[in-house]
Every structure is written in structure tokens, then in C-alpha cells.
Amino acid sequence: MSVESSRRQKQQAALGQLLQLAMLINEDMEHGLGRVGLTPSRATLVWELLHLGPSTQRVLAEAIGVSPRNVTGLVDALVDTGFVVREPHPTDRRAALVSFTEHGARIAEQLKRDGEQLADDLFADMPDGQFSALVKGFDVLMARLCELIAQAKEKEAQR
């Protein structure tokens, strides 16, 4: 077995680990969401609403990258479960402004704290040097990945 093939195998193991890590974190977060009565998609909307403030569904659709029709369903569900309300837009009678109920605002803040807690749980015990090396690796991977995606898009556009 050559040195190159060994590195290859390590690279595949690394990709596998990265994917598994992501899967486990997602499952963990999803589990936490379920405990407060949110699904991942609804939580994404709640998250955006926390950062945007009261917004039209159109704005929310663009923020979370789904169709306007889809947002109707997510907002319907969040209204039914008491997280948000639709209010009339002050100047545009076609539009509705989505904003938090008290309960929704409380849960949104809790999601924020939960995220902070998770980051702390994952990284707090890591020595500074190891942590910086990991972040540096993330940076490099992200840059490389964006490069790959841009290349792929270019190729597709040529067709």
C-alpha cells in the first residue's frame, strides 16, 4: 500500500467523519426542537424572524430559501401552535406582518441560548491551539468547497 493510497483512505475517513458529525449535531438539535414543539423547518423560520423582526411572508420566503406557498404552510402551523401571529401590514393591505407571540419570542430566545450552550459544550474543553487549528481547517474547507461549487455551476451554465 503506497503512501498516497493511505492518505486517500484517511481523506475518505475524514469526509465520513465530517458527515457523521453533522448528522449527529442535526439530530441533537432536531431532538431539542421537538421538545419545545418545533420542527426543523418551522425553527428555521422562527430563527429568521428573531433576526429580522416582524416580516412579511415574502421576506421570510427569501430569507429561508423556500417558495412563498411553503411559507404560508409554515406560518399556518406556527400560528396554530401559538408561536407567531399574522398582523395587518400598516401600509400594504395585501401583505401580512408575521411576528412573535410572547411564547414564540420566549422559545426563540431559548433556541439562541441552546445554540450558545451547544457551542460551549463542544468546544470549551479544547485547548486554544487545537481550537484554532480546527477553525483554520474549517476555513480552508469552506473556501475549497465554495470554489468547487462555483466551478460546478460554471460547467452547468455552459450547457
Task: Return the SS3 of 116.
Answer: helix
Backbone angles phi, psi at 84, to 5 degrees: -135, 165
- The residue type of 14 is A
Q: Which is nearer to DNA, 94 or 113 (CB)?
A: 94
Among 6, 18, 72, 76, binds a copy of itself (CB under 8 A): 18
- Cα 145 off chain centre by: 18
96 binds, among a copy of itself, DNA, none (CB under 5 to 8 A by kind): DNA
Among 8, 58, 89, 106, binds a copy of itself (CB under 8 A): 8
74 binds DNA (CB under 7 A): yes
93 binds DNA (CB under 7 A): yes
* DSSP β-bridge partners for residue 55: 98
Q: Are 7 and 15 in contact (CB under 8 A)?
A: no
52 binds a copy of itself (CB under 8 A): no
Among 22, 72, 82, 89, binds a copy of itself (CB under 8 A): 22
101 binds DNA (CB under 7 A): no
Q: Long-range pairs for 121-129 at CB < 8 Å and ≥24 separation?
A: none
Q: Which is nearer to a copy of itself, 27 or 87 (CB)?
A: 27
Task: Return the SS3 of 53.
Answer: coil
Task: Return the SS3 of 76.
Answer: helix
Interface residues with a copy of itself (CB under 8 A) are 7-8, 10-15, 17-26, 28, 31, 115-116, 118-126, 128, 130-131, 133-142, 144-146, 148-149, 152
